[in-house]
Amino acid sequence: MITYALSTCAYGNYVNPETAGALRQTQFRNYEPYFGIFTTDNERSRESRELTRQLIREGVFRSASVHLPFSGAKSWDPSHLDEEERKAVSARLVNVIRDNAELMGPMVTLHASDDTPLEEHPKRIGQVCRTIEEMLPAARELGFVINVEFLPRTCVGNCAEELQQIVSHFDADQVGICLDVNHIMGRCRELPQMIDLLAPRIRSFHISDYDGIDETHWLPGQGVHDWPELMKHIRAIDHDVLLILETIWQLKYPYREVSPYFSLRQNERAVWFLENCERLVPEIEAFRIPGK
């Protein structure tokens, strides 16, 4: 079964009173909050945490997955080659999970590395596995699966082979894959085959469109992806998967942030598009502009 969720990046990750009002009105109930906003203790993050707790109590907000921090003043790279620094990253990841346990979901999304030299990847894959091993006690205690994200460019996990190397060290009920379809770079035609290959371990997707070059996180239908074909392969997966819409960048006006109401509405329509793309895409392609 397919379940849809929305990445909180769609409204800038932080919840303020305006955003809370918009969240009460949207059809979305499943979300993937980004825990990076809780790595700094300030008024904005405290307000966001408290409002999110309130929305959870109201039954308006459910953490279907959690995106772990991947950038900031301190390193969050779990593949760090310096063992002491890697252990520090591992401890930071576990701490941010435990400090926000009331906001946890049944899955977490983990970036395996920053952009790193390709020749370092074999060693870094081993380091990532050590970090995941150190996270597993918290995962068992709090009941979540760790999903290693498919990443772009020169990050660890930028191809099916590296993802398989990482997850093969662990049981499938402990470590899976989050396949971000925006991270395929110039190989978008290979994506259906990648879905089929990794299907046994895929637990979630990050869903967005792009320009066929590098990640842009557009709404589905605005870029190069063949959505009828992708959805066919996603629906063929024989276990439950979570489709997390991770769209944001094109929803920003050049001089100000767009209203969260607008962003949520656009993403609701994106779900409608995905659910009906087999019918809609042929109609769109057959359309001819009047007055030519």
Residue 203 has a CB neighbour count (10 Å cut-off) of 24
Length of the chain: 292
**Please, which residues have CB within 8 angstroms of residue 13's CB and are 6 or more apart in sequence?**
33, 34, 36, 37, 48
Q: Sort strands 175-180 and 145-149 into parallel, antiparallel or unpaired.
A: parallel
CA neighbor of 28 nearest in space, from 52, 2, 7, 54: 7
Could you give the angle at the alpha carbon of 161 between the alpha carbons of 237 and 91, nearest 5°?
Answer: 95
pLDDT computed for residue 252 by the predictor: 58
The ranges of the chain with pLDDT < 50 are: none
Domains delineated in the chain: 2-286 (3.20.20.150)
The Cα 288–Cα 283 span in angstroms is: 10
180 three-state secondary structure: strand
The Cα 191–Cα 223 span in angstroms is: 14
Q: Sort strands 175-180 and 30-32 into parallel, antiparallel or unpaired.
A: unpaired
pLDDT in tens, 26-85: 999 999 999 999 999 999 999 999 999 999 999 999 999 999 999 988 899 999 999 999
Q: What share of the chain is helix, strand, coil (3-state, %, to 5)?
A: 50, 15, 35
162 three-state secondary structure: helix
Which uninterrupted H or E stretch holds 202? strand 202-207
The Cα 8–Cα 52 span in angstroms is: 11
User: In this structure, are residues 150 and 180 in contact, taking their beta carbons and an 8 Å threshold?
Assistant: yes
The Cα 58–Cα 25 span in angstroms is: 12
Q: Sort strands 175-180 and 202-207 into parallel, antiparallel or unpaired.
A: parallel
Structure tokens at 170: 């662990």
SS3 letters across 64-89:
CCEECCCCCCCCCCCCCCCHHHHHHH
Based on its alpha-carbon atoms, the radius of gyration of the chain, rounded to whole angstroms, reads 19
pLDDT computed for residue 73 by the predictor: 80
Q: Please spell the DSSP secondary structure of 235-292, one letter per residue.
A: HT-SS-EEEEE---GGG-BTTBPPPHHHHHHHHHHHHHHHHHHHHHHHHHHH---TT-
Burial label for 245, CB within 10 Å (0-12, 13-18, 19+), is: buried
User: How far, in whole angstroms, is CA 99 from its chain's centroid?
Assistant: 21
pTM: 0.95
Which uninterrupted H or E stretch holds 6? strand 2-7
pLDDT computed for residue 91 by the predictor: 98
